[in-house]
Structure 1
Amino acid sequence: MKVLITGGAGFIGSTVASACMDAGIIPVILDDLSTGREAFTRGRLFYRGDIADASLLDQIAADHPDLSFAIHCAAKVVVPDSVIDPLGYYDTNVAKTIELLRGLQRNGIGKVIFSSSASVYDAEDGGAVTEEGPIQPASPYARTKAMVEQILADSAGAGDLRAIALRYFNPIGADPQSRSGLPQRDPSHVLGLLISAHRHGGTFTITGTDWPTRDGSGLRDFIHVWDLARAHVQAVRRFDLVTEKAAFRAVNVGGGTGTTIRELVAAFERVTGASVDVRIGPRRAGDVAGAYADVQRAADLLGWRAELTIDEGIRDSLAWAESFDSASGH
């Protein structure tokens, strides 16, 4: 079996590709390398280009007539950047996805697994959310994910395709075999900022301490990226079962527990044995209190639950950061 993975040279897409390979599924990677790393595609079927390039999509389909699935991971993903550049985010994440879906439909690839986000939810109270929870995205990035979900739902209703939207919570860690990880040396997500502060002797800023959570800091559901990748494999394996009664289904993919930013700092200090210089800052534009996943649907439909701990995610993130610098000669 072959699957097309858009964004397959990025953090999540490359890990999904590794999990597919380990499960006997052959990934075909499409990535423009705007943020991904070509090194993550070595030994894999790889096409460099844009997901909206109709001729390239036709070429991939012609080269691989046995393609039946697309796992769509390609997107811009930085919330503050989406506030600054909303048009860029709507263009990349929504308009180009429409062109991708047209290309898939034209070539008879009718099974889509979409990398969505828990940011689509109303996450004002730091509580658990189910897939039926209110959809209230708080940033342009989150709105792009909600829009694509709606496009998939409408297309599924028209009989154009079947789709599963995996609503990611907060991926951390790296491939446990160190085949890939975050492609940026200093990533902007919360654990990346913690690692940068730890390694470079800087400070870590908690953005807001007046959120409605147990300690006032934002709450996140951190999930190891390898657990997330395994969920994609299960979505491929059980696709027909999941979409049997509804041609579009959304499924939460998270750890199922909430961790506040203060608690993440404590876990980081526990893993590293070193203290972090923590400062308190204001809320960022587009931020919310956060939420954690109710993962019962993933257990029921995908036969999946997260298995790796937050401490393991921190350790694998640190190991990847060290190997990244070694490979880069720093």
Structure 2
Amino acid sequence: MAVLVTGGAGYIGSHMVYALADAGEDVVVLDNLTTGFWWAIAPQAKLVEGDIGDEALVGQLAKDHKFDAIIHFAGSIVVPESVADPLSYYLNNTVKTRSLIAAAVKAGIPRFVFSSTAAVYGNPERVPVEENAVLAPISPYGSSKLMSEWMLRDSHAAYGLQYVALRYFNVAGADPKGRTGQSTPRATHLIKVACQTVLGEREQMDIFGNDYDTPDGTCLRDYIHVSDLAQAHLDALKHLRHGGASGAYNCGYGQGYSVLDIVRAVEKAAGKPVNARMAPRRAGDPAAIVAASAKIKQEMGWTPRHQDIDRIVESALAWEDYLRQRNEAA
């Protein structure tokens, strides 16, 4: 038996592939390499270059490898981009996920772990936000992911597909062993952008809005280390293999940090200032969103190990410095 990881050459996916390989799992990666990197994949895994919307390809892979689970990361993730080009997000995140689910059902793959997002909550009325909160996304990105959750819910009811949807908060940091990290050159993740700026890879960075209803006026987010998130997927896979209930789970620490908090943390780690300027708000950004994560801890035994924000920032900065040196040597 093997595990199929879609988007396994990307940021979170590559950490997941290493976590699975470290756990002794047989891993196949399906990635079209439009934003991922072949070299970020654990050498123990098999890479198949292709599209998740290709049902025939997924079906053939299922025959060849006898998957007992799919862990699905592939998709588009930039909120403002989804506002500007919603149809591409509904194609990439919703239509193609529908094809992947259909291929899984047809092939008899029993388990599906889905990369969802806290964006399904929109601007929550209460923070920390619990899984039973009103689902009211304010961006096509959030809507595209929520539609995928609904398809999984309905496929569970109709076909018996067991699933877990993990609603990520803000993912950051890099593999503590230095094997992979956030490698997309123009990624929009705040910590990566701040690290690139302090290292001189960007001339300056923008802080989008300082008039939100938060303590310092900048957006407040819950940052989760990518290795803890990979562990949450391992725990979800174990949960489903042991007959655990299907459903959605938050992945966050329950601690919010503002944009200015993050800038200061990067400055502390680098020992020099970040060239940041204030800019207008971006479309689709909620003011504050922080996770209530009791459910995943109680039902799956998830235990975060990297929740210190300084540790998260230090790992991200170390990876960014590695990429800078790698590019200079190329």
What TM-score do the two structures reach when normalised by structure 1? Answer: 0.94
Q: Which amino acid aligns with 2:319?
A: W
Alignment of 1:298-317 (within 5 A): 298-308=296-306, 309-317=308-316
Asked if structure 1 preserves the Cα contact closer than 8 Å seen for 2:105 and 2:159, the reply is: no
Cα deviation, 1:122-179, whole Å, max 9, x if unaligned, reads 3356821000111111111111011101111111111341110000000111111122
**In 1, Cα distance between equivalents of 2:210 and 2:303:** 31
Aligned residues: 326
* TM-fit CA distance, 1:306: 2.1
Match of 2:139 in 1: 139
Asked if structure 1 preserves the Cα contact closer than 8 Å seen for 2:249 and 2:295, the reply is: yes
Q: Which SS does the other structure have where 1:232 is aligned?
A: helix
Change (3 A) 1:210 1:254: same
**In 2, Cα distance between equivalents of 1:231 and 1:40:** 20
Match of 1:40 in 2: 40
Match of 2:52 in 1: 51
Asked if structure 1 preserves the Cα contact closer than 8 Å seen for 2:124 and 2:133, the reply is: no
Match of 2:278 in 1: 280
Cα deviation, 1:48-103, whole Å, max 9, x if unaligned, reads 100011221122112112x1100010001111111111111100100011111111
Match of 1:154 in 2: 154
**In 2, Cα distance between equivalents of 1:76 and 1:203:** 25
Q: Which SS does the other structure have where 1:176 is aligned?
A: coil
Match of 1:269 in 2: 267
Match of 2:170 in 1: 170
Match of 1:225 in 2: 226
Q: Which amino acid aligns with 1:64?
A: H
* Structure 1: segments with no counterpart, 5+ residues: none
Q: Which SS does the other structure have where 2:288 is aligned?
A: coil
**In 2, Cα distance between equivalents of 1:159 and 1:241:** 19
**In 2, Cα distance between equivalents of 1:234 and 1:275:** 39
Alignment of 1:75-90 (within 5 A): 75-90=75-90
* TM-fit CA distance, 1:242: 6.6
Match of 2:61 in 1: 60
Asked if structure 2 preserves the Cα contact closer than 8 Å seen for 1:242 and 1:301, the reply is: no
* TM-fit CA distance, 1:118: 0.5
Q: Which amino acid aligns with 1:321?
A: E
Q: Which SS does the other structure have where 1:129 is aligned?
A: coil
Q: Which amino acid aligns with 1:45?
A: K
**In 2, Cα distance between equivalents of 1:28 and 1:270:** 39
| Percent of aligned positions that are identical | 39
Where does structure 1 differ by over 6 angstroms across 4 or more consecutive aligned residues? none
**In 1, Cα distance between equivalents of 2:239 and 2:311:** 27
**In 2, Cα distance between equivalents of 1:206 and 1:93:** 27
Greater CA drift, 112-121 or 300-309: 300-309
Cα deviation, 1:160-202, whole Å, max 9, x if unaligned, reads 4111000000011111112211121232221122112212263
Asked if structure 1 preserves the Cα contact closer than 8 Å seen for 2:21 and 2:45, the reply is: no
* TM-fit CA distance, 1:254: 0.8
Cα deviation, 1:209-232, whole Å, max 9, x if unaligned, reads 111111111001001100100111
**In 1, Cα distance between equivalents of 2:227 and 2:13:** 11
* TM-fit CA distance, 1:276: 1.8
**In 2, Cα distance between equivalents of 1:303 and 1:155:** 26
Match of 1:18 in 2: 18
Cα deviation, 1:274-314, whole Å, max 9, x if unaligned, reads 12233211110111112111110011111013221211111
